[in-house]
Amino acid sequence: RKEVEQDPGPFNVPEGATVAFNCTYSNSASQSFFWYRQDCRKEPKLLMSVYSSGNEDGRFTAQLNRASQYISLLIRDSKLSDSATYLCVVNKPLGTMDTGRRALTFGSGTRLQVQP
C-alpha cells in the first residue's frame, strides 16, 4: 500500500465549480499534513497546512480525519488559475528515523483542469 494515496484525476471542472480532493495516508503516527500545488514542470509550492480542527484560507478548506487517516481539500468558486496538480503531503513520523530528518512523503497528486 502506498504511504499517501490520491485519486490521480484529472478533474475537469467549469469555472466557478466546487471541487473536492481526497487523500489517505497509511501511517497512523504521521504528525503533519499539507496540501501543495505543483504547476507543470515547476516545483511544488505550499498551499496550506492541514489541522485537525479543519482550516480555511479564502476559497480553500482543508480537513483532517485522524481516525480514518483521511485528508481533504475543498476548492470553492474555482478559477482558471487553480488549474494545477494538487499534492497531498504527510510528514514521516518521528521515532522511525533520526529526528533531524522529518522528511515529507508526497502523494502522486491530483490534476485539476478548470475550464472556461
User: Interface with other proteins by CB under 8 A: which residues?
Assistant: 31-32, 34, 41-46, 49, 87, 91, 97-98, 100-109
Closer by beta carbon to other proteins, 41 or else 116: 41
Is 7 in contact with 108 (CB distance < 8 Å)? no
Distances (CA, A) of 51 to 6, 20, 26, 44, 90: 19, 17, 17, 20, 12
Closer by beta carbon to other proteins, 16 or else 102: 102
From the CB of 56, what's the least distance to other proteins, in Å?
19
Closer by beta carbon to other proteins, 77 or else 93: 93
From the CB of 102, what's the least distance to other proteins, in Å?
6
